[in-house]
């Protein structure tokens, strides 16, 4: 505790650093990375950029630090957290590595891919992080600053998306500031996230690998590498194995209508490709050229923008093709539309 206090800067300096770090800053200055390392080692929370969305990071081996993540986000403790590491060697310190993990790591990592693996019996990862279960979600982010933060701190970082539970994931430091600015000591600014949608979660801890959350790395890419079809996620005692499959999630405040063919003047339209739907008060186009990767990168930011517009009573979305990363986009939209 004494150590933690000694590392804390006076309140006003903390605020200044936080604001300083909100300037566009890519790559992140070493002084800020060092400040983040000090905070993480002292059991504090730090928001940091990844290629998918911003994470709310804590030392995954420190129960109290992990508990702060749940409290800050208002996240139910039955929903486990992803552990971010900088290498396969680091992953192997905490999880039972198997042939599927090896093949996926060789093909993709570092990547927007989270692998659910059996936890090593003597793993130092906090039980809270794994929601008391015997598996751990491991990800090696494809973002230099994120990996540098892990390398410098020497810590595996538990990091959910840096938003309040159930809300839209943040894809810029400004988004994190709006979500959690008052409750965390530092936000590292790495600019806008390149991918903009959370990692694919693949469970390789059971008999047949199975996707628990769609993302940038698609089912067919994974099946090609593993040379086998994936299983469908199943309900266990009325609940999915991954609570991240909860139906209502990523929710804007305004109601969302999907696959629209018409729009009211008090609705904001999220268009895709040629905006054939007319009549909306405001329109934002996820990708004029119908590029699904571009659409994914814009999705959460545009949802946030429309949600914050006081003129609007709802958000409507044009159909998005159910292929490749379009599956991940539709997954997020469907859950955002569920109340």
Q: At its nearest, how many Å lie between ligand TXA and the CB of residue 85?
A: 11
Of residues 130 and 226, the one with the C-beta less far from Mg ion: 130
- The helix/strand/coil state of 231 is strand
Radius of gyration of the chain (CA): 20
What is the maximum span of the chain, computed from C-alpha positions, in angstroms? 62
Is 213 a binder of ligand TXA (CB under 6 A)? yes
Per CB under 5 A, the list member of 61, 114, 161, 242 interacting with Mg ion is 161
Total interface residues for ligand TXA by CB under 6 A: 29
Q: Could you say which of Mg ion, ligand TXA, none residue 116 binds, taking C-beta under 5 to 8 angstroms by partner kind?
A: ligand TXA
> Among 194, 168, 160, which Cα is nearest to 296's?
194
Contact window for ligand TXA (CB under 6 A) among 77-85, 97-105, 274-282, 319-327: 77-85
Cβ atoms of 95 and 150 closer than 8 Å:
no
Beta-bridged to residue 203, according to DSSP, are: 116, 210
Q: According to CB under 6 A, which one of 18, 45, 52, 306 is a site residue for ligand TXA?
A: 52
- Rounded least distance, CB 119 to ligand TXA, Å: 8
In the region spanning residues 286 to 325, those forming contacts with Mg ion, defined by CB under 5 A, are none
- The residue (of 35 and 249) whose beta carbon lies closer to Mg ion is 249
Contact positions with ligand TXA (CB under 6 A) in 244-283 = 244
Q: Which residues contact 290 (CB under 8 A, 6 or more apart)?
A: 272, 273, 321
Contact in structure between 8 and 14 (CB atoms under 8 Å): yes
DSSP state of 99: H
Task: Tell me which of 4, 7, 79, 87 binds ligand TXA, using CB under 6 A.
Answer: 79
209 binds ligand TXA (CB under 6 A): no
| Number of helical H runs and strand E runs in the chain | 11, 15
Map the footprint of ligand TXA across residues 124-143, applying CB under 6 A: 130, 133, 135-137, 139
Q: Looking at 201, 271, 283, 333, which residue binds ligand TXA (CB under 6 A)? A: 201
Tell me whether residue 136 or residue 271 sits nearer to ligand TXA (CB atom): 136
Determine the interface stretch with Mg ion among 42-50, 154-162, 189-197, 287-295 (rule: CB under 5 A).
154-162
Return all residues near 59 (Cβ < 8 A) that are at least 6 apart.
40, 41, 43, 65, 66, 153, 155, 156, 157, 158
Distance CA 305, CA 308 (A): 5
Out of ligand TXA, Mg ion, none, what residue 50 binds, judged by CB under 5 to 8 A for its kind, is ligand TXA
Contact 321, 327 (CB under 8 A): no
**Which of 20-28, 108-116, 253-261, 284-292 is the region at the interface with ligand TXA (rule: CB under 6 A)?**
108-116
Which residues, numbered 301-320, are part of the site for ligand TXA (CB under 6 A)? none
Cis peptide before 27, with omega less than 30 degrees from 0? yes
Q: Taking the complex as a whole, how short is the minimal distance between the CB of residue 232 and Mg ion, in angstroms?
A: 22
User: Judged by CB, which is closer to Mg ion: 142, or 161?
Assistant: 161
The residue number with the shortest CB distance to ligand TXA is: 244
156 is an interface residue for ligand TXA by CB under 6 A: no
User: What long-range pairs does 326-332 form, CB within 8 A, spacing at least 24?
Assistant: 326/292, 326/295, 327/214, 327/218, 327/219, 328/197, 328/200, 328/213, 328/214, 328/215, 328/216, 328/296, 329/197, 329/292, 329/295, 329/296, 329/299, 331/213, 331/214, 332/197, 332/249, 332/250, 332/299, 332/300
Which residues of this protein are in contact with ligand TXA, per CB under 6 A?
50, 52-53, 55, 79-82, 112, 114, 116, 130, 133, 135-137, 139, 159-161, 198-199, 201, 212-213, 241-244
């Amino acid at each position: 505790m004494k150590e933690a206090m000694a590392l804390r800067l006076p309140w006003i300096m903390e605020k200044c650093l936080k604001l300083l770090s909100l300037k566009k800053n890519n790559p992140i200055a070493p002084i800020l990375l060092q400040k983040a390392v000090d905070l993480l080692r002292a059991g504090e929370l730090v928001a940091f950029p990844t290629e998918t969305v911003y994470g709310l990071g804590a030392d995954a081996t420190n129960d109290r630090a992990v508990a702060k993540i749940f409290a800050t986000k208002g996240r139910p403790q039955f929903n486990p957290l992803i552990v971010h590491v900088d290498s396969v060697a680091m992953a192997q310190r905490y999880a039972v590595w198997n042939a599927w993990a090896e093949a996926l790591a060789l093909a993709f990592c570092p990547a927007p891919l989270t692998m659910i693996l059996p936890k090593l019996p003597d793993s130092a990862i906090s039980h809270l992080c794994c929601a008391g279960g015997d598996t751990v979600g491991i990800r090696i982010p494809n973002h230099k600053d994120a990996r540098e933060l892990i390398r410098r701190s020497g810590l595996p970082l538990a990091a959910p998306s840096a938003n309040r539970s159930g809300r839209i994931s943040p894809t810029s430091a400004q988004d994190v500031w709006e979500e959690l600015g008052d409750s965390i000591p530092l936000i590292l600014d790495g600019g806008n996230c390149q991918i903009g949608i959370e990692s694919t979660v693949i469970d390789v801890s059971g008999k047949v690998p199975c996707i628990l959350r769609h993302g940038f790395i698609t089912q067919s890419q994974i099946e090609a590498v593993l040379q086998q079809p994936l299983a469908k996620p199943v309900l266990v005692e009325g609940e999915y194995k991954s609570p991240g499959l909860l139906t209502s999630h990523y929710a804007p405040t305004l109601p969302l209508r999907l696959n629209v063919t018409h729009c009211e003047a008090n609705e904001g339209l999220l268009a895709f490709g040629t905006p054939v739907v007319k009549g909306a008060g405001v329109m934002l186009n996820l990708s004029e050229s119908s590029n699904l990767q571009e659409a994914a990168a814009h999705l959460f930011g545009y949802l946030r923008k429309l949600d914050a517009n006081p003129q609007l009573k709802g958000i409507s979305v044009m159909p998005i093709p159910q292929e490749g990363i379009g599956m991940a986009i539709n997954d997020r939209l469907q859950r955002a539309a569920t109340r």
